[in-house]
Amino acid sequence: MADIIQLLPDHVANQIAAGEVVQRPASVVKELLENAIDAKANNIKLLVKDAGKTLIQVIDNGHGMSVTDARLSFERHATSKIRSANDLFQLHTKGFRGEALASIAAIAHVELKTKQAQDEVGTFLTIAGSEIVSQEVTVTPKGTSVAVKNLFFNIPARRNFLKSNQVEFRHITDEFHRVALAHPNVAFTLIHNGSELFNIPKSNFRQRIVNIFGAKTNERLVPVNETTEVLTISGFVGKPEFAKKSRGEQFFFVNNRFIKSGYLNHAISAAFEGLLKDGAHASYFLNLDVPPETIDINIHPTKTEIKFDDEHTLYAIIRSAVKHSLGQFNIAPLLDFDR
């Protein structure tokens, strides 16, 4: 038989990768916000139309890109964040896979404006279906704006699969909250269909939680702080009497990255044992700082699940730190008739 294997063209490979990276508008939001953070922006604006189905735009005041980098940023595996495989174990950035922009540009119309501080003028690129359609010189402030339009224009099945605007927008606000909570020292704005929903100044972690979840949250927070050799844990848990039936306010950030972990979530439940009414979930906002070489982030394209070297030790430390905090606040177990 003749040889039958071929290398896929770039735009096809990008579209395949996009299937994993971009599940819905909120995935684009996450990738663009994280790029803005990695560019060291301290002011980030997110503009959305129709729950991201027609427009997702992130404007940052970060370090921007040169003309060459702007073009290269849409190539797959093109990244300024790592240079060798060893760097994977010393990550200090959100990104490192170099595939978000390539993936997004494979399945949407993208407009990029970017300028570095030292340059007089910036670059304006339009890209559609992995092709650079136009390139112009433009007057623009330092930083980067990425506008993503007509998401999934060339994948009707994905487009049709999108949920209602209400559901898709909730996913977007979830991502926005996660990034905003992980970076209280950055100012964020969120505008949906022309109305400003959030305009939160640079602040500290406690204030950021209050800015997002409302003033009444403040009195409900119990501080948690503990430093050990393998982990520094800081942040807050919600007082048990305010625990809700929904799991909405549960946040772990590992080295400033929101992560999901059923196992570590269980450590919190264990610390709250006997304190919660049946069916109620504790809320928590906890930062776990660990040496970067003790975690593996590269196990899934969206990076919300990570692997810890020693999960059992972390579990024990988290449980005891939270228990200790609850104890200090004189939060006593419920008596049986209270439940």
Binding site for Mg ion (CB under 5 A): 35, 95, 100
Residues 11-70 that bind ligand ADP (CB under 6 A): 31, 35-36, 38-39, 60, 62-65
Neighbours of 247 (CB within 10 A): 10
Partner from Mg ion, ligand ADP, none contacting 39, C-beta within 5 to 8 A by type:
ligand ADP
Residue 97 contact among ligand ADP, Mg ion, none, beta carbon within 5 to 8 Å by kind: ligand ADP
Half-sphere exposure of 110 (CA within 13 A, CB side): 30
259 interacts with ligand ADP by CB under 6 A = no
Q: Does 80 bind ligand ADP (CB under 6 A)?
A: yes
Q: Would you count residue 292 as binding ligand ADP (CB under 6 A)?
A: no
Q: Nearest residue by C-beta to ligand ADP?
A: 95
Nearer to ligand ADP, 148 or 271 (CB): 148
Question: Residue 39 or residue 264: which is nearer to ligand ADP going by CB?
Answer: 39
Structure tokens at 12: 């096809």
Q: Does 251 bind ligand ADP (CB under 6 A)?
A: no
Tokens (6 digits) for 97: 């896979």
* Under rule CB under 6 A, residue 173 binds ligand ADP: no
CA 299 – CA 53 distance, rounded (Å): 28
Q: Does 236 bind ligand ADP (CB under 6 A)?
A: no
Nearest to 203 by CA among 61, 59, 47, 42: 42
Of the candidate spans 16-24, 93-101, 172-180, 244-252, the one that interacts with ligand ADP by CB under 6 A turns out to be 93-101
Closest separation in Å from C-beta 117 to Mg ion = 21
Euclidean distance between CA atoms 288 and 231, whole angstroms:
7
Cα(143)–Cα(164) distance, integer angstroms: 33
Q: Are 130 and 10 in contact (CB under 8 A)?
A: yes
Residue 8, judged by CB atoms within 10 A of its CB (0-12, 13-18, 19+), counts as exposed
